[in-house]
Homo-oligomer: A and B are copies of this chain.
């Protein structure tokens, strides 16, 4: 019988980091960083590129966003779940399903997600969410390199929805027996994903971040962001801009 499993010592690693400020604790032994901000930055970015936006320029601060706006860019800015005053868009995925944005560059700053992207920008950065879960897993398996799953969290604390998404990817990769993990944060994320997978919406009912978003009356966005495999494409960071990964890249 052919043995298709990779010996443990030859497997690539996949780990889960719960927030950008923990990033340095995970060392430098990663080739790819997968940034996750399910509610809503990475769901919005994936949706935007899939519907034809040319590129997303992620910026960490509102000040940078203002500068781009002055220079004529389409700029989306979100803080604490709301559109920042003076901007036309926040990070609702629906805002990016806009025919006027097709072919255009869009600048984006968000509370947690764009910070996570900048934190990891010296590495190969790809963008994941529940909407593109399976294509991201397939890409990482094909790529066969060490992976850090960087959850954006909520103001440097872990949040459930990013942990579930990271846990789903880690679980999938480890199940192939081509990847292994050494961190308890990864094991915990896997356990949480497995507890949650049959009914994510109910599971997240009591989640602090979701409750916060419910107060902002964006339940429609939340439902959109919790749909699995509805937007099968992968954003990748190139020269500081997020663009679609082409099929033949890996």
Give A contacts to B, CB under 8 Å: 18, 22, 25, 154-160, 163, 182-185, 187-188, 191-192, 194-196, 206-209
User: By the criterion CB–CB under 8 Å, are B195 and A209 in contact?
Assistant: no
Total copies of the chain = 2
User: By the criterion CB–CB under 8 Å, are A163 and B183 in contact?
Assistant: no
Query: Would you mind naming 23 contact pairs between A and B with Cβ atoms under 8 Å apart?
Result: A18-B18, A18-B158, A22-B156, A25-B156, A25-B157, A154-B184, A157-B183, A157-B184, A158-B184, A159-B184, A160-B187, A160-B188, A163-B184, A163-B188, A183-B208, A184-B207, A187-B206, A188-B188, A188-B192, A191-B191, A191-B192, A191-B196, A194-B195
Known contacts A191-B195, A192-B192, A195-B195; decide if A184 and B155 are in contact (CB<8 Å): no
CB distance from A240 to the nearest CB of B (A): 29
Q: A18-B158, A158-B188, A195-B195 are in contact. List 16 more A-B contacts (CB 8 A).
A: A25-B155, A25-B157, A157-B183, A158-B184, A158-B185, A160-B184, A160-B187, A163-B184, A163-B188, A182-B208, A184-B207, A184-B208, A184-B209, A187-B206, A188-B192, A192-B192
